[in-house]
Amino acid sequence: MKIIKYPNKNTWSELLKRPTQTVNDIESTVNQIFEDVQRNGDTAINKCTSLFDGADLQSNLVTKQEIEEASSKLSSELKAAINQAKSNIETFHKAQKTERVSVETSIGITCWQEKRAIQKIGIYIPAGTAPLFSTVLMLAIPANIAGCKEVVLCSPPNKDGKIANEILYAAQLCGVTKIIKVGGIQAIAGLTFGTETIPQVYKIFGPGNQFVTVAKQLATKYGVAIDMPAGPSELLVVADDSANASYVASDLLSQAEHGTDSQVILVSTSENFINEVETEIKTQIKVLPRQNIAEQAINNSKSILVKTNEEALELINDYGPEHFIVATKNNNFYVNGIQNAGSVFIGNYTPESAGDYASGTNHTLPTNGFSKAYSGVNLDSFTKAITFQNITKEGLKNIGNTIELMAEAEGLQAHKNAVSIRLKDIIPAQAGISNSKTE
C-alpha cells in the first residue's frame, strides 16, 4: 500500500479516486450488447454466453433436477452455516417492516401511506473469480419478506454450463422463482427487455464488475429501476494504536481479494500503527490462495496518515466508503460523526466479513462514493410506498378555496374547476337546499 503522510486537503480529490475505468471506456460495449439483445433476444444472449463464458448451452434455464443435484453435493456443515446466516438476515430484515401510516391532516381529510411489494425482481449474482452465493441470501430473503411475486436470478455459467452448487442451493432455499444461466452485460439486458426465456423485470439488484454497473445504469434509460450503482468492492479502516494491527491487516486483505479493481484504505493518526499493518499485510498475503488478486488490489490502495481525528473524519466523509471499520480509542466520535458510508463495523471484534455473510445486515452497498446519496439494500428496496387519501364533503369545503386559489395562481383553470364544480354541489346541500346530483 502507498503511504501518504499528512496530505493537503487540496489533494484529497485526486488521492481518493477509485481505481476504475471511466464509463466512456466501456459504455460503447454495453450499448452494443443491449441493442443486440433488444433486437435478437435469446439468440444474442446465447452468442454472448458462448463468447464471454465459453459455454454453449442447449437451454439457459436451470432445471429442478440441477437444483436437487447441487443440494446433494453440499456438505451438511455448509448447509447449516447457510441456514444460520439466512436466519439472522431474516430476523434483521423482518424488523424493518413498517405499519400503515395514517393521519387526518385536517377535518375531513384522511391521508395514509402503505407499502406494496415490487412484483417483478431481477437478481444478478456474480460468479467470475468467486461464486457469491451469500449475495443470493442478501437479495432473495428481503424480496421474499417483502412479498415480491416473481424473483428471477441470473448468474454466469462456467465452461461446463453449470452454476455453482452453492448459488443454486441458496436460491431454492430463499424462494427464487426462476434461475437463468446468463451473466454480465447480457444478463442485465435480458432482464431489461425480456427474451423468450428471461422475464422482463421492474427492478434489478446485485453487484458486479464495471461492465455490469454501467449496464444497470443503462437499464434505467429503458424504465427499469436498479438498487444502486454497485461496482467493485471497497473498504476504509480508521484505526490507531489501540487497534490490533493483525486484525486490521486481515480486514484490508479480505476486501482486496475480491478483485484487482477493489480498493482498501487505512486512515490513522499513528505512523507506527500504519507500519505495523504494512508488515502484517506482507506476512498474511503470502498464504492467501488469491494472493495475486489481493496484491494487485493492494497496489491500488493507500495508507493515509493524518494529524487529528477531526481531519480523519472529514476525509472519510469526503470519500464515502462502502464498508467502514472503526477501531480507535474513541469509536463514538466516528460512529456519531459519520455521514457517508454504506455499512459501519465498530470495534476490534467486528470484522467486515461478518456483514458479508451472517450477522444479519445486508452486504449489497453503494460504492464509488454513492454512499453520499444512496442507502444499502434493505427491505424498503423491494417495496414502493403508495399514498392514499379520502376527503369528505366537509373536508373539501375546508380545503377547497385553498386549492382554487393555488390552481388559479398557476394558471391551471381545469384544476380549479375540478374543485369548484364539487363545491357548488356541497355548499347548497349543506345549507339544506335539495340537489338531485347529491341525493
pLDDT in tens, the chain (439 residues): 999 999 999 999 999 998 765 566 789 999 999 999 999 999 999 999 999 999 999 999 999 999 999 999 999 999 999 999 999 999 999 999 999 999 999 999 999 999 999 999 999 998 866 788 999 999 999 999 999 999 999 999 999 999 999 999 999 999 999 999 999 999 999 999 999 999 999 999 998 888 998 999 999 999 999 998 777 789 999 999 999 999 999 999 999 998 888 899 999 999 999 999 999 999 999 999 999 999 999 998 999 999 999 999 999 999 999 999 999 999 999 999 999 999 999 999 999 999 999 999 999 999 989 999 999 999 999 999 999 999 999 999 999 999 999 999 999 999 999 999 999 999 875 555 444 444 4
C-alpha cell at 224: 427499469
**187 and 258 in a common domain:** no
**205 and 103 in a common domain:** yes
**142 and 71 in a common domain:** yes
Catalytic residue among 276, 280, 323, 363: 323
The number of distinct structural domains making up the chain is 3
363 labelled ligand-binding:
no
What is the pLDDT at residue 21? Answer: 54
352 labelled ligand-binding:
no
331 labelled ligand-binding:
no
User: Could you identify the residue written with the cell 499485510?
Assistant: 281
**258 and 181 in a common domain:** no
CA atoms of 189 and 207, how far apart (whole Å): 15
The domain that contains 341 carries what CATH number? Answer: 3.40.50.1980
What is the pLDDT at residue 203? Answer: 98
Catalytic residue among 280, 322, 352, 363: 322
Does the residue 166 lie in any domain? Answer: yes
CA distances for 177 relative to 144, 183, 309, angstroms:
10, 18, 49
Which residues span the domain enclosing 135? 23-228
Q: What is the pTM of this model?
A: 0.91
**28 and 172 in a common domain:** yes
349 labelled ligand-binding:
no
- To the query of whether residue 323 is one of the catalytic residues in this protein, the response is yes
196 labelled ligand-binding:
no
DSSP for 142-209, please give it: HHHHHT-SEEEEEE---TTS---HHHHHHHHHTT-SEEEE--HHHHHHHHHH--SSSPP-SEEE----
186 labelled ligand-binding:
yes
Does the residue 218 lie in any domain? Answer: yes
Does the residue 321 lie in any domain? Answer: yes
